Amino acid sequence: AAGGGDIQVPPHLFSVGAAAHTAMLSETKNQSIIISGESGAGKTEATKRILAYFANLQRGSSSEGGSGGMSIEDQVLRSNPILEAFGN
């Protein structure tokens, strides 16, 4: 930055997703990402984008994962009624 001052910005959605994915693989523990904000802040859009990011990560990997060969996309679609019950 001009003037040498420290600028603090919120973490980028994909960097949060990458960190969760890396931690999940290295620690072999489930991870959670909480997306919160005011009405109209873009929570639904952010959720869609991070899920697309994870789906792309899976497509790029050689294995299907540990959920009976079910893709991340299929898992999310099957969980949609539960997500809707909590209001997204």
User: pLDDT digits over 67-83, tens only?
Assistant: 567 777 777 777 777 76
Whole-prediction pTM value?
0.63
**pLDDT tens for each residue of 41-62:** 888 888 888 888 888 887 776 4
pLDDT of residue 66: 55
pLDDT of residue 16: 92
One-letter identity of residue 67: S
- DSSP for 72-85 reads HHHHHHHHHHHHHH
